Amino acid sequence: MKAEIEAPSKPRILSQILLLICVGSFDSGGVLAVNMTISNTLIRGSVGGEALLSVRYTSFSLDLPVIKWQLRREKSVTVVQSIGTDIIGTLRPEYRDRILVFENGTLLLHNLRLSDDGTYDVEISITDDTFTGEASITLTVDESISRPYIDMESSSVLELSQNVILNCSHDNGTRTTYRWFKGGKPVTNMTRFVLSPDQKLLTITRVVMADDDIYVCTVENPVGNVTSLPLRLTVYRRSSLYIILSTGGIFLLITLVTVCACWTPSKKSKPPVRKSLSRVYDRCHHSPISHTDDLLPKTPEHNGVNAVTSLYILQQKDPSLDDSSSNSVESPPELDNPPCYTSSPSFNGCLVQSPRSPAHSPCRYT
């Protein structure tokens, strides 16, 4: 009875020993699989830069590995496939002249684009090995941030209890985050300080005198951070604001009055005013001609011949300038003794008479 019990136990022991040997050879047989190691599973890159997706593998086989890199999408996209460092097949147009594969399976991407952002799967297989090594690396590609600036709708000079909204704006940058600082200290959501969900906007309600300070905003993304130029908010009470505005207006008025008082127009020489004679006297009898028609030359007929009479009128002189003429006949001040000249062809006698002037004796011309 005892022998019958011991007999079936030997085959069981043998089977268990064989199973352990097989399992041990399977577990200790590193040569049956490609073991891969990755130092960094997250790589950050910027547009136009480079990204090194670094991997390592171990195998007891001396054969060259078959390396395959794929980019995860709705349908995985093959980036490159190579035997060692020799690329197999034709690369996709978007990856030409931008890819380099190393012997240990590492992939180097040049001239990064925003479309390169994503998760990359790598597979390394060797013919003598039963299992293929697999790993994944995530690559983020971002655009560098330009210097931000604080934009606001109202003036930076605020009246007490006024509301103001500060907007942290910038032109370039992806995956950005924002932070606000007041007087060098971070700003958090408070009773009067309200930040938008992305913290891009800062709203200050009912400003007080303590809000008179310097404000800056910082924009960050995976490739860097940039701080804006400082903005000074000035808070005034109503009376103080009115005093400042009125003082500025008075100063401007004084400046304008001073400029106007110092300015003098340029003096231009005026042509002398020519005085016309009020009356003209006949040379012979000094009789005044009372009408302008008397100044026109008359052509009376004498024995069938037209007599031409011409009068030449000289400009009236100022008596004060003609002191040297002592032989002139004195006349009333308003007449000023204007000379009268007549010229005509030589006749034995002539009669010059104005129809509107009194008759006078004939005058003989020589």
Q: Dump the DSSP string for 44-78.
A: EEETTS-EEE--EEE-S--SPPEEEEEE-SSS-EE
- Indicate the pTM of the whole model: 0.54
Helix/strand/coil percent split, the chain, to 5: 20, 30, 50
Give the pLDDT of residue 268.
Answer: 54
Domains 32-142 and 149-238 share a fold: yes
Mean pLDDT, consecutive 10-residue segments, the chain of 366 residues? 45 50 43 81 94 91 90 93 91 93 94 96 86 92 94 84 91 93 91 92 91 94 93 81 68 82 63 48 46 46 46 46 43 48 46 46 45
Give the pLDDT of residue 3.
Answer: 43
Give the pLDDT of residue 332.
Answer: 47
- Residues in Cβ contact with 121 at an 8 Å cutoff, skipping those fewer than 6 apart: 69, 70, 71, 72, 76, 134, 135, 136
Are 172 and 164 contacting, i.e. CB atoms less than 8 angstroms apart? no
d(C-alpha 341, C-alpha 310), whole Å: 8
Q: Where are the domains of the chain?
A: 32-142, 149-238, 280-343
Q: What burial letters (b/e) apply to 86-125, b meaning 16+ CB within 10 Å?
A: eeeeebeeebeebbebeebbebebeebeeebbeebebbbb
Token pair for 118:
């994503």
Under CATH, what is the fold of the domain 32-142? Immunoglobulin-like (2.60.40)
Residue 145 per-residue DSSP state: P
- The sheet that has 99-101: what strands, in order across it? 51-53, 107-109, 99-101
Residue owning tokens 């006297």 = 281
Residue owning tokens 């940039």 = 226
End-to-end Cα, the chain, rounded Å: 199
Domain 149-238 is in which class? mainly beta
Give the pLDDT of residue 292.
Answer: 44
